[in-house]
Amino acid sequence: MSSLPAQVATAVVLFAGTNADDVVVLALLNASSRGGGRPRLWEIWAGQYAGYSALVGVSLAAGRGLALVPDRWLWLLALIPLGLGLVNLVAAIRSLQRGEQLPPPSAGGLLGVAALAIVNGADDLAAYPPSSPRSGRPRS
């Protein structure tokens, strides 16, 4: 069993490594705020806190809930983002074929920034839940 300082150091490095891309997103949101006034600065920061809070809650629930799911079925969870991406890709292709102009993506408002924080950090959830208590090995 590892010591508490080693576990804390691992958690800090894991958090920094999985959230480096968030610095880019925050920079773009701040540039958009300064250039066009949307989203406002308070919406950016409040949205980031709301998004992180949701991700922490999901991570805690996943850490407990995944222990109930047999390891051989966990790969099915990967079909959810794949399916969502394919549905949106097909919708975008159909819109372009009809000659419709796709709206530019924007993260306006508190809820938009929170949703962006969740989407940007959702891939990190695979790194956060603890090891499987049944097998003693990390989930992958």
Domain that holds residue 43: 4-71+103-126
* Per-block mean pLDDT, blocks of 10 residues, the chain (140 long): 83 85 88 85 92 85 78 79 86 90 74 86 70 49
97 lies in some domain: no
**The pTM is what?**
0.61
Q: Residue 105: its pLDDT value, please?
A: 66
pLDDT at 90: 92
Contact 32, 39 (CB under 8 A): yes
User: Does any domain span residue 24?
Assistant: yes
Asked if residue 78 belongs to a domain, the reply is: no
Q: In this predicted structure, what is the pLDDT of residue 132?
A: 47
- 27 lies in a domain? yes
Total structural domains within the chain: 1
